[in-house]
């Protein structure tokens, strides 16, 4: 019992706050879909766009076109090698290369297939590319020639790669993640959740933990703390009833915040190592439906590519609390832990339509507490938890731009 109460107290101390002001603004003159980002050795940002490669030298605020496409040449992936050479994969059978920080580009026509996503530069200088449902191809001569590289690899479609702390390479695929201990020359399938085997995105955290984002409806994100031997579902708060793909994940090295982009439900942030997550969508055009890649700039801004161009956070994500300050707002509940019922007390800075819902630890909505109008000032509402099983839950309040979630523990 003492161990359970200690766990409860730790969870209660890790309250997660949502953004309460416009987080995003559209930047540059970028039109159409932006698929990917990369940083070169000179600190320039590159973006793979619909029919263009864009470059920014001011932390993603403004962008210039440095390579045009033509035909079916959407630039869907970008990689920078240890030498500083830039490679971009495309929807066409051609790949593109720059050795002068994007000033000039040459076309690589030796690649046998189109849809080269992703293209990655390994630490040893080799390139890996994964054309759609064609497995893994390797180049050891900077793109001049390519050879299929499938020893022990049984999946056809590869979405992402990441290095572990000890130098192993992990591939996220449509059929379980795979691991290589020799820079991708041989592979073994990792143990993973059999219901959610599709792993679109892989992220290795600075503490060595591994995150794997699924592409399957209602699956979400899983975490391993033992090198991939065992996995547990995390990121409670992701509304997996409304999206399927976890497109991309990125961690801020300064504060450990983790940002997640999805295919139809926007961008999320976790401030507690991936245990919980909250949505940060304020400022997006209402018609945005795809959030391809989240990327942190050298100056600490968060970028995300969408089908409506590029968006950038209004402030640096290393001080994201700047976005969390809203005078005269409060949300608490008591008692907590609770047995039968609790009081949710909240205070609003302005009158607003509000909604209060309760979610379980799997992200499933268990009840709608209140939907309606509330005036500015303090309010209190009762929540019946007698019909809930013992465990950890989250109650979420939405009021205009204010969205906040906190934990509540039910005991029996």
Q: What is the pLDDT along the chain (412 residues), one digit of tens a residue?
A: 433 333 333 333 334 333 345 889 999 777 789 999 999 888 899 999 988 999 999 999 999 999 987 655 789 999 999 889 999 998 888 889 999 999 999 988 777 777 888 899 998 999 999 888 888 999 999 988 888 877 888 888 899 999 999 999 999 999 999 999 999 999 999 999 888 899 999 999 999 999 999 988 788 899 999 999 999 888 877 777 766 689 999 999 888 899 999 988 899 988 888 887 888 888 998 889 889 999 999 989 999 999 999 999 988 887 655 555 455 677 888 898 989 999 999 888 877 788 888 887 766 778 888 888 888 888 899 989 998 999 888 888 877 667 677 888 899 8
3-state SS assignment for residue 232: strand
In this structure, the number of other CB atoms found within 10 A of the CB of residue 61 comes to: 16
Contact 306, 34 (CB under 8 A): yes
How far apart are the C-alpha atoms of 278 and 117, rounded to whole Å? 28
pLDDT of residue 357: 85
pLDDT of residue 282: 87
Nearest CA-CA partner of 290 in 231, 240, 246: 246
pLDDT of residue 267: 93
With left for phi above 0 and alpha for psi between -120 and 50, is residue 6 left, alpha or beta? alpha
Residue 80: beta bridge partners?
Answer: 86
How far apart are the C-alpha atoms of 110 and 95, rounded to whole Å? 8
- Helix and strand numbers, DSSP H then E, in the chain: 1, 35
How far apart are the C-alpha atoms of 266 and 307, rounded to whole Å? 12
What's the pTM value of the predicted model, to 2 decimals?
Answer: 0.76
pLDDT of residue 80: 93
Sign of the dihedral defined by the CA atoms of residues 216, 222, 224, 229, in that order? negative
Backbone angles phi, psi at 37, to 5 degrees: -130, 155
How many C-alpha atoms does 313 have within 13 Å on its Cβ side? 24
How far, CA to CA in Å, does 13 sit from each of 144, 215, 280, 336, 408? 54, 31, 21, 12, 11
- For residue 219, what is the enclosing H or E element? none
Backbone angles phi, psi at 7, to 5 degrees: -60, -40
Considering the chain, tell me which residue range(s) the CATH 2.60.40.2550 domain(s) occupy: 2-8+325-410
Sign of the dihedral defined by the CA atoms of residues 304, 308, 310, 316, in that order? negative
Contact 32, 309 (CB under 8 A): yes
CA end-to-end span of the chain, whole Å? 12
DSSP readout, 229-251?
SS-EEE-BT--TTS---EEEEEE
3-state SS assignment for residue 15: coil
Residue 128: beta bridge partners?
Answer: 120, 138
Secondary-structure class of domain 23-323 per CATH = mainly beta
Quickly tell me which residue has 């409860």 as its tokens: 8
Sign of the dihedral defined by the CA atoms of residues 12, 22, 279, 380, in that order? positive
Sign of the dihedral defined by the CA atoms of residues 316, 321, 326, 332, in that order? positive
Considering the chain, tell me which residue range(s) the CATH 2.130.10.10 domain(s) occupy: 23-323
Secondary-structure class of domain 2-8+325-410 per CATH = mainly beta
292-306 burial code (b ≥16 CB/10 A, e <16): bbbbbbeebbbbbbb
């Amino acid at each position: 019992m003492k161990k359970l109460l200690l766990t409860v107290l730790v969870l209660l101390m890790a309250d997660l706050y949502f953004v309460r002001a416009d987080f995003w603004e559209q930047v540059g003159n970028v039109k159409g879909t932006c698929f990917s980002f990369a940083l070169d050795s000179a600190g320039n940002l590159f973006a793979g766009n619909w029919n263009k490669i864009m470059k920014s030298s001011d932390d993603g605020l403004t962008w210039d076109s440095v390579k045009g496409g033509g035909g079916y040449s959407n630039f869907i992936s970008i990689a920078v090698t240890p030498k500083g050479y830039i490679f971009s994969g495309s929807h066409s059978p051609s790949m593109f290369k720059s050795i002068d920080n994007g000033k000039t580009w040459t076309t690589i026509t030796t690649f046998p297939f189109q849809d080269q996503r992703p293209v990655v530069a390994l630490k040893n200088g080799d390139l890996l590319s994964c054309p759609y449902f064609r497995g893994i191809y390797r180049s050891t001569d900077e793109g001049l020639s390519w050879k299929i590289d499938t020893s022990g690899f049984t999946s056809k479609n590869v979405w992402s790669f990441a290095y572990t702390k000890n130098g192993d390479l992990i591939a996220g695929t449509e059929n379980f993640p795979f691991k290589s201990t020799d820079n991708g020359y041989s592979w073994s399938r990792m143990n993973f959740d059999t219901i959610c085997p599709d792993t679109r995105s892989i992220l290795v955290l600075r503490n060595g933990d591994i995150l794997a984002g699924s592409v399957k409806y209602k699956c979400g994100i899983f975490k391993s703390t033992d090198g991939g031997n065992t996995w547990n579902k995390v990121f409670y708060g992701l509304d997996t009833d409304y999206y399927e793909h976890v497109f991309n994940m990125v961690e801020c090295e300064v504060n450990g915040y983790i940002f997640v982009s999805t295919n139809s439900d926007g961008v999320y942030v976790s401030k507690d190592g991936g245990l919980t997550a909250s949505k940060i969508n304020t400022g997006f055009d209402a018609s945005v439906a795809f959030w391809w890649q989240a990327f942190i700039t050298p100056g600490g801004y968060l970028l995300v590519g969408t089908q409506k161009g590029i968006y950038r956070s209004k402030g640096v994500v290393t001080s994201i609390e700047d976005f969390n300050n809203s005078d005269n707002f409060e949300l608490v509940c008591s008692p907590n832990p609770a047995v039968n019922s609790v009081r949710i007390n909240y205070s609003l800075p302005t009158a607003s339509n509000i909604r209060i819902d309760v979610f379980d630890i799997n992200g499933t909505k268990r009840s709608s507490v209140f939907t309606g109008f509330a005036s500015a000032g303090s309010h209190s509402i009762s929540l019946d938890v007698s019909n809930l099983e013992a465990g950890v839950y989250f109650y979420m309040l939405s009021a205009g731009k204010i969205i906040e979630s906190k934990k509540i523990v039910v005991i029996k």
